[in-house]
């Protein structure tokens, strides 16, 4: 009788242990998947062209970007990899005449308008929020007339520095998730 009780107790403990481990694995996978939904968005600078580009992590390999002459990688904010409710596609366009890249939300300009301005090679970079929510930050686009360069910057960015460089025409674009280290764990939206 004593052996039967010990066997049952061991089986119960084993069941509880396996159930706990399984629950932890499933929870960890869910949390990992939620964090994988977010993508870091960076700004790079090319000193030869005196031009900025906004890129989502994984668009190109970092070695390629460095090899093309881009430097000063700066984390701007987090965005989403996939479409969803209250999200808008954000696209990148290239102008071969001015060697300029512009990152625009899908409703800012029509494709026809950008093509008439000399842009081509449209590609979707990420998806951004259309409404302010908890733990969001407004993202603006600035333009410098001298070389037709566009610059994306969160509202917390150093606007005085870029204003002194000649950037004007500040335009609201969309909402991102702040670049602080804890942002991915919130998954508030």
Give the model confidence (pLDDT) of 58-90 as tens digits.
998 999 999 999 999 999 999 999 999 999 999
- Residue 116 is given by DSSP the state H
Structure tokens at 107: 């409703």
pLDDT exceeding 70 applies to what percent of the chain?
A: 78
Residues 128 and 80 in one domain: yes
User: CA angle at residue 77 from 76 to 78, to 5 degrees?
Assistant: 145
| CA dihedral sign of residues 111, 56, 181, 31 | positive
Which position has the token pair 């060697």?
99
Exposure string (b/e) for 85-124, b if CB count within 10 Å is 16 or more? eebbebbbbbbeebebbbbbbbebbeeeebeeeebeeeee
Residues of the domain holding 150? 40-186
The pLDDT assigned to 5 comes to 66
Tell me: do 70 and 153 sit in the same domain: yes
Name the domain count of the chain.
2
Residues 56 and 78 in one domain: yes
Q: Which residues pair with 140 in a beta bridge?
A: 153, 172
CA atoms within 13 A on the CB side of 177: 24
Q: CA–CA separation, 56 vs 4, rounded Å?
A: 60
Segment 150-177 mean pLDDT: 81
Indicate whether 129 pLDDT > 70: yes
Mean pLDDT to the nearest integer, 160-173: 80
The DSSP element (H or E) to which 19 belongs, if any, is: helix 2-36
Q: Do residue 50 and residue 107 come from a single domain?
A: yes
In the block, residue with structure tokens 């069941």: 15
């Amino acid at each position: 009788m004593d052996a039967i009780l010990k066997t049952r107790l061991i089986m119960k403990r084993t069941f509880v242990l396996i159930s706990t481990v399984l629950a932890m694995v499933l929870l960890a996978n869910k949390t990992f998947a939620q964090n994988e939904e977010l993508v870091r968005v960076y700004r790079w600078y090319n000193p030869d062209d005196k031009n900025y580009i906004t890129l989502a992590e994984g668009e190109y390999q970092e070695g390629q970007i460095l090899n093309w002459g881009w430097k000063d990688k700066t984390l701007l904010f987090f965005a989403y990899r996939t479409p969803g409710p209250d999200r808008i596609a954000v696209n990148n366009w290239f102008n071969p005449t001015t060697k300029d890249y512009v990152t625009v939300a899908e409703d800012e300009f029509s494709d026809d308008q950008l093509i008439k301005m000399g842009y081509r090679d449209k590609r979707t970079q990420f998806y951004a929020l259309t409404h302010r929510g908890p733990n969001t930050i407004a993202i603006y686009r600035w333009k410098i007339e001298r070389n037709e360069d566009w610059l994306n910057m969160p509202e917390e960015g150093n606007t005085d520095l870029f204003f002194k460089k000649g950037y004007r025409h500040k335009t609201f674009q969309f909402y991102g998730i702040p670049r602080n280290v804890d942002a991915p764990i919130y998954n508030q939206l």
